[in-house]
Chain A
Amino acid sequence: MKPILKGILWAVIGFTGGAGLLTLVRLALGMSLWDLEPAISVGYIFGLTGWLLGVGVWDYWARAWFGLPLKKFEANGLSRYFSFNLDHKVIGLQYLAVFFFMLLTGGLFAMLMRLELMRPGREFMDPAVYNQIMSLHGIFMIAVAVAVIIGSFGNYIVPLMIGADDMAFPRLNALSFWLTPLVPLLLLSSLFFGGWDSGWTAYAPLSVTNRTGQLFYNLAFMTLGLSSIVGAVNFLTTVLTKRAPGLTWGRLPIFVWSIIATAILSLLATNFIFVVLLLATLERIAGMAFFNPAGGGNPILYQHLFWFYSHPAVYVMALPGLGVVLEVIAHFSRKPLFAYKWAVAGFLGITALSFTVWAHHMFTTGMPESRTAFMFTTELISIPTGFIFLSALGTIWQGRLRLNTPMLFGLAVIVNFLIGGITGIFLADVPTDIQLQDTFWVVAHFHYTIVSTQIFGLVAAIYYWLPKFTGRMYSERLGKIHFWWMFVTFNTTFLPMFWLGLNGMNRRVAQYPAPLGDVNMWVSLNAFLLGASFAFFVVLIALAWVRGPRAVSNPWAARTLEWQTASPPPHDNFPREPKVVGAPYDYGVPDSTHAIVPAADSGND
């Protein structure tokens, strides 16, 4: 805990120093001495720097820039997880802890929303409070969806899968992780400054005129963006340079491809959200009217910049989950991944096309001349998505399916994502979208796409790789109970929402027409059951982690490299450098091998 305490101390010093410096500048310029939002913004920049330096950047990195000797790294055991550790396996679990915390917190906010929506009238909370909770639920879950799989499993598994000893930039990796705890911290502290109620999209002009809580949203999202960019640089460099001998592009496990596509999107798109939030912050603190028409700004510019990031970000959320699904389906169907090259083309095609579709979020914004073009590109993107889909179906076709829990979740993604995809057509088509915009149809649609890929994908990944990072096995019986519980309640919660949307239930509103009360009651009750399934999942995984039976080193008889070493893997991952000699999924192909790991028990079958 010592590095964290040091980080907090340095953060406080930095924040005070930054705010003090600003006060001095204001004094010199003859302005009023104190203004809350500029002080918080400037203080935060210095506080953030102090936090990073204090938590470990100074001791293990920056001292060398000044010719000072670096501190020797000493943490081991549990304290590794509370320090600036450079091991990608530690960082992966650190990511998992932070974002799983955010997932559960965001889930609690959802439960509060469903509590209010049980009945049409005003029940438990003020409509303004409802909107604050809705906004918090949104941004917590967006942060989870952007980062949880790539942060935890990208970090833990990708270097193992490519036969590397670590990421290309271990210190940058630790830095990108230690930015993330600030995200929930800032978002929760916004409540002390009046909260904010503009939803996760934070459209201007509302977001540039409402309470100080909004500033915390801006700072939190920018911090998350910084972490994403640093992470993306690291992932791409790692895959480009650290692959084991023989691991050519055509032999790369499909999960690695999904992480490459995700990292490209993060790398190229994230700075656009950074700019739009920076400009919104400048508008708040310096009166530079970029977005508020009252001052001569243009709110549509906000939407353009916001969605230019946020639509690619939708694929940042979806692709890692789909990567997990293809990975799991290939191993549990005991067949080569069907149309491997087309699946890769699917990932890269989505990556390219996702930069051309952003204005389909703006069909009702009042620019009719461009709608047809964006409708066309949006529907075009279903083609590469179809490649991924058909690759999954073709792999299952006539496979010898092993229906273990990870596979069940993988199959669930296919079912749910199909519903999400088909209902998306009505949002891509301009005439229907104009009717459905801002209704629960949209809510149901994006939960069917994002929850099904990122969250079901995450759950599949946790079950699949649990034996890898704990060396222990979960209970298959409880896992299957959890699967049916979560899969059924997910559908009973979100399917009726399509009907609600068609019948005129608006999103982001605490009260709704009375005839929709019964269905909403049903949805709320099922949502509580869905929420409870996560509590069950946490207990199940915790039990397995602490008391589960020892897992054999390759319980799924999988061929990819991460399973060809001990569980959990030693610090340098492999006893000696592995050599890749064949494709990763050639199950059932005579005389085929994926990789040879010298001087270790061979898990190849």
Chain B
Amino acid sequence: MTTTTVPHTRYSRLNINRIGLWLFILSESGIFIALLAVRFYLEGTSRPEALNQTLGLIITAILLLSSLTAYRAETAIAQGDQAGFLRNTLATLILGLVFLAGVGIEWSQAFREFPPQSGFGRVFFAMTGMHAFHVLTGLILFGLLYFNGRRGAYSAESHWGVEAIVKYWHFVDVVWVFFYPALYLLS
């Protein structure tokens, strides 16, 4: 907080957008904090043996990798490298889809082993479902990025859309960094 009478520095549109995005992310993390609280309140740290640990580890690695490609896409466009931007956006899109497919496989096994009506199943499906929904929205946004990127809509000077969606993607990734141990590792 400042109380000096400095001459006012104008916030650029970009700065305003960034502040808005961070506030949105701050608010959105409440959803995931609440779900973590639900998990520990109802189920403590218990988890079923039937969890597919291999699959869990693989999809976690894939999601982390997609954050890297997303970062590379942002860096590429910031340097005006259109081809690199498109390549990395597409890679992120594919990695995200593979992650979702992995969740789908995990779900089909979970339906048999610990269905949504069961003790662990309800928190497992609520948490992975909410996270997968965020992944899905992220992928739709990356699809838009790719579609618009091919038309040359972004440049080194003007790529707020890319920056915002990549930041959102990192956020979704960080959420999984908390969800994965809470669901798969603790016991």
Listed in ascending order, the chain A residues whose CB lies under 8 Å from chain B are 65-67, 168-169, 172, 229, 232-234, 236-237, 240-250, 267-272, 274-276, 278-279, 282, 286-290, 295-298, 301, 304-305, 308
Are B37 and A248 touching (Cβ within 8 A)?
Answer: no
Residues in B1-56 with C-beta less than 8 Å from chain A: 1-5, 7-8, 11, 15-16, 19-20, 23-24, 26-28, 30-31, 34-35, 37-38, 41-42
Stretch binding the partner chain, chosen from B97-105, B115-123, B175-183: B115-123
Residues from chain B with Cβ under 8 Å of A66 in the complex: 144, 147
Say which residue of B4, B24, B27, B122 sits within 8 Å of A289 (CB atoms).
Answer: B122
How far, in angstroms, from A66 to B145 measured CA to CA in the complex? 10
CB of B58 within 8 Å of the partner chain: no
Known: A271-B27, A279-B126, A287-B116. A168 touches B3 (CB 8 A): no
How far, in angstroms, from A510 to B97 measured CA to CA in the complex? 55
Q: Nearest residue in B to A272 (C-beta to C-beta)? A: B34
Residues from chain B with Cβ under 8 Å of A169 in the complex: 16, 20
How far, in angstroms, from A567 to B81 measured CA to CA in the complex? 51
Say which residue of A244, A250, A267, A282 sits within 8 Å of B23 (CB atoms).
Answer: A267
Q: Nearest residue in B to A241 (C-beta to C-beta)? A: B11
CB of B112 within 8 Å of the partner chain: no
Residues from chain A with Cβ under 8 Å of B26 in the complex: 267-268
Are B30 and A269 touching (Cβ within 8 A)?
Answer: yes
* Distance to closest chain B CB from A167 (angstroms): 10
How far, in angstroms, from A66 to B24 measured CA to CA in the complex? 23
Are B19 and A244 touching (Cβ within 8 A)?
Answer: no
Number of A-B contacts (CB under 8 A): 111
Main secondary structure of the interface of B (DSSP, over half): helix
Residues from chain A with Cβ under 8 Å of B31 in the complex: 271, 274-275
Are B19 and A268 touching (Cβ within 8 A)?
Answer: no
Residues from chain B with Cβ under 8 Å of A286 in the complex: 116-117
Are A249 and B1 touching (Cβ within 8 A)?
Answer: yes
* Distance to closest chain A CB from B51 (angstroms): 18
Main secondary structure of the interface of A (DSSP, over half): helix
Say which residue of B1, B5, B11, B23 sits within 8 Å of A236 (CB atoms).
Answer: B23
Q: Nearest residue in B to A29 (C-beta to C-beta)? A: B111
How far, in angstroms, from A210 to B184 measured CA to CA in the complex? 35
Are A290 and B122 touching (Cβ within 8 A)?
Answer: yes
How far, in angstroms, from A267 to B148 measured CA to CA in the complex? 31
Are A248 and B30 touching (Cβ within 8 A)?
Answer: no
Say which residue of A65, A237, A271, A297 sits within 8 Å of B16 (CB atoms).
Answer: A237
Are A67 and B148 touching (Cβ within 8 A)?
Answer: yes
How far, in angstroms, from A301 to B119 measured CA to CA in the complex? 14
Are A233 and B24 touching (Cβ within 8 A)?
Answer: yes
Residues from chain B with Cβ under 8 Å of A290 in the complex: 38, 42, 122, 126
Say which residue of A243, A245, A289 sits within 8 Å of B7 (CB atoms).
Answer: A245
Q: Nearest residue in A to B27 (C-beta to C-beta)? A: A267
How far, in angstroms, from A182 to B153 measured CA to CA in the complex? 35
How far, in angstroms, from A104 to B101 measured CA to CA in the complex? 50
Say which residue of A67, A168, A275, A301 sits within 8 Å of B151 (CB atoms).
Answer: A67
Are A65 and B23 touching (Cβ within 8 A)?
Answer: no
Residues from chain A with Cβ under 8 Å of B147 in the complex: 66-67
Say which residue of A245, A250, A288 sits within 8 Å of B122 (CB atoms).
Answer: A288
Are B16 and A168 touching (Cβ within 8 A)?
Answer: yes
CB of B125 within 8 Å of the partner chain: yes
